[in-house]
Amino acid sequence: MAHLKLKGLRKSYAEVETLHGIDLDIQDGEFVVFVGPSGCGKSTLLRCIAGLEEITAGELWIGDQLVNEVPPAKRGIAMVFQSYALYPHMSVAENMAFGLRLAGFTKDAMKAAVARAAQILQIEHLLDRKPKALSGGQRQRVAIGRAIVRKPGVFLFDEPLSNLDAALRVQMRVELSRLHRELQTTMVYVTHDQVEAMTLANRIVVLSAGRIEQVGTPMELYHRPVNRFVAGFIGSPKMNFIEGTLSGPSQVRLADGSNVTVTADSGRLAVGAKVTVGIRPEHIVASATRTEGAVQAHVQLAEHLGDSTYLHVTVGNAPEPLTIRTDPENPLNTGDTAWLVLPPARCFLFDEQGITLP
């Protein structure tokens, strides 16, 4: 078990800086997820923590030790990658014990460690098999087992579920949560999948272009994103953004001339300022009948998912359609005119720079 501290961590490859000063504290036993679009630096940051990349500037602490110069094997960490990298000629048990043999464990100690990990991962019946006789999910479990046997202070995961099909990903997600509860070890997990981030994390770190945008619990990020980037990244389907101009205090005029009232405080902006209203698909109320103040829209497509229906609608000449999640009994269908109510308390207001107004 260990806490982590990153202070002004920078990483450059040749002349190009990839991480631009990362400050982050990870508590002992915490499950922290790094999330962000492809290429934003998640893997680089994880590899810096692992010691697979040298950091260019700043400090990295694991427990009470400054580890900038400490080799990977001495950092008390274990890493699980997207590719399982199992030895094909070794059995599951041998694969799991391999690192321990190198570390000079006795036969009995190795056997006990492998048995315990296999029990935790429910792969006891697979110990004598070779990797080629395993499914993708079973192979990934062996790779995780190989990490568990080393009893690391910190587990590092880099998109470990990306090679699995959707159903298996859901199952492994549940198992990883259970694993964390059982081991109570610090885990740092990288994914580009915001659903994985929301479901696994105690805290999420949202990264963009080598910088931290926001750190918070899943619900903090959902309810109080600091900017438009985080607002658009967390939540599925993603938040709708509607461009407009401020027409009065907390009043926004949209391109089609309709007005939206928000509870956010527009105080620091002048009337006429360019703003963006953000509202999540689950918060727009769409109906077939007109009500006072409702915004007129055209249903381009209704997708019936059974438990809910997604309406893709356009407002005036706005280029981007809005997505609405509604209940399956909603009578609106493709081609209909819809009337949208945007509840003021559900609307986010962003300034021209994309910063959330409080």
- Record the tokens describing residue 267, joined without a space: 């105080």
Q: What is the DSSP letter of 172?
A: H
- The whole-angstrom separation of Cα 117 and Cα 127 is 11
Shortest Cβ distance from residue 11 to ligand ADP (Å)?
Answer: 8
Number of Cα atoms under 13 Å in the Cβ half of residue 83? 2
Sign of the alpha-carbon torsion through 47, 52, 53, 57: positive
By CB under 6 A, the residues from 6 to 65 that bind ligand ADP are: 13, 18, 36, 38-44
Give the end-to-end CA distance of the chain in Å, rounded to a whole number.
38
Alpha-carbon distance of 318 to 33, in angstroms, equals: 35
| Shortest Cβ 190–ligand ADP spacing (Å) | 6
CB of 265 to Mg ion, least distance (A): 38
Of 39 and 249, CB closest to ligand ADP: 39
- How many of the chain's residues bind ligand ADP (CB under 6 A)? 10
Region 255-314 residues binding ligand ADP, contact defined as CB under 6 A: none
Q: Yes or no: say if 27 and 201 are a contact pair by the CB < 8 Å rule.
A: no
Rounded Cα–Cα distance for residues 61 and 64 (Å):
6
Identity of the residue, 42 or 283, whose beta carbon is nearer to ligand ADP in the bound complex: 42
Q: Which is nearer to ligand ADP, 208 or 308 (CB)?
A: 208
Residue 269 buriedness (CB in 10 A; 0-12 / 13-18 / 19+): middle
Q: Which does 18 bind (CB under 5 to 8 A by kind): ligand ADP, Mg ion, none?
A: ligand ADP
* Minimum CB distance to ligand ADP, residue 191 (Å): 10
Q: Which of residues 4-43 bind Mg ion (CB under 5 A)?
A: 43
- How far apart are CB 51 and Mg ion at their closest, in Å? 17
Nearest CB to ligand ADP, comparing residues 48 and 77: 48
The token pair at 194 is 């915001």
Give contact residues for ligand ADP (rule: CB under 6 A): 13, 18, 36, 38-44
